[in-house]
Amino acid sequence: MKYHFCTLFDRNYMYKGLSLYKSLLKHCPDFKLWILCMDERVYEILGKLDLEKAVLIKNSDFEDEELRKIKLTRTETEYCWTCTPSLPLYILQKNPSLEMIAYLDADLFFYSSPEPIYEEFGKSSILIIEHRFPDHLKHLEVNGKYNVQMLVFRNNEWGLECLKWWRERCNEWCYYRLEDGKMGDQKYLDDWTERFKGVHVLQHEGGGLALWNIANYNITERRSELFVDEDPLIFYHFHQFNILKAGSYNYGEGGLYKLTPENAKLIYGPYIQAIEDSIRKVKKIDPSFNYGFKKKDSLMDRILSFPFKVKNRLRKIYRAATKGL
């Protein structure tokens, strides 16, 4: 089958978005990836890279009047989250013959074919994936039971109804804070299994592996293929992965998350190679491009890596100490 995916990213996620595309090239023989370019720099560079299986969307062509107004009230991150439901809806409306579309976060990376996900999805209308937190991280479900990372919407009554409802909610409220049972674009997914028909929660353990749930599983390599317990690893979500400078990376472990050296080698090794290749390709097109590198953590960044009970107390101390600066 031909897979239809979409993603969005700005200049700060350029290397990650290109690495996602590269992983799809390797594991999907027939696909199309729509990329919403959140700024002109991304659109210009990607256009020069001549990505054969990508369709570039200018943000200025994508935005409607409502989104343009909302953009003024939200941070760059919050605005990207706000646009998430609008993107697959936009593509399905522009391409009514499409059977379905999958939204992918730009920091995903595929290690094998997505076919098992679609086989399990079957004739369902909407696919969602749980965070699958281990017991010691269950408290994080306050931010959402499901992760937006990969969502599939069939071009039918329930798939479109869900996207329209989600877009309306995100346009109304989509901020990087927990408030009144909402958190970004993510907590809106919590009741989809009751709110909409045809919602399937992915059971395949190889879809949605990430720092927050890797402690649940035994990761092994068999004949050059990675397995999550007994399921092939399909994609990994590189949450909190930071490029510090060329050849230097922060995997995001520490504090809440733990990553064994073996898992780091098996999973992060191929991704780092793809990231470095993406950096070389972008620099060849535009040597002055210097985005996507994480600056040294501020005091507040370090505070945010602490467990919740400690974090809340330190946050108060930080605010008191910096008041008036």
- The burial of 60, by beta-carbon neighbours within 10 Å (0-12 exposed, 13-18 middle, 19 or more buried), is given as exposed
The model's pLDDT over 123-176, given as tens digits with 9 standing for 90+, comes to 999 999 999 999 999 999 999 999 999 999 999 999 999 999 999 999 999 999
Mean pLDDT of 266-290: 97
- What CATH class has 3-294? alpha beta
Res. 323: pLDDT tops 60 = no
Return the pLDDT at 245. Answer: 79
The model's pLDDT over 294-318, given as tens digits with 9 standing for 90+, comes to 875 544 444 444 443 443 444 445 4
How much is the pTM?
0.90
CB 60 within 8 A of CB 116: no
Mean pLDDT of 82-106: 98
Return the pLDDT at 314. Answer: 41
Length of the chain: 325
Return the pLDDT at 296. Answer: 57
- Domains of the chain, by residue range, sit at 3-294, 296-325
Percent of the chain with pLDDT over 70: 90
The model's pLDDT over 117-130, given as tens digits with 9 standing for 90+, comes to 999 999 999 999 99
Res. 264: pLDDT tops 70 = yes
Cα dihedral 86, 144, 193, 202, rounded to 10, equals: 90
The two structure tokens encoding residue 210: 């990430």
Res. 325: pLDDT tops 80 = no
Weakest mean pLDDT among 8-22, 182-196, 232-246 = 232-246
Res. 209: pLDDT tops 50 = yes
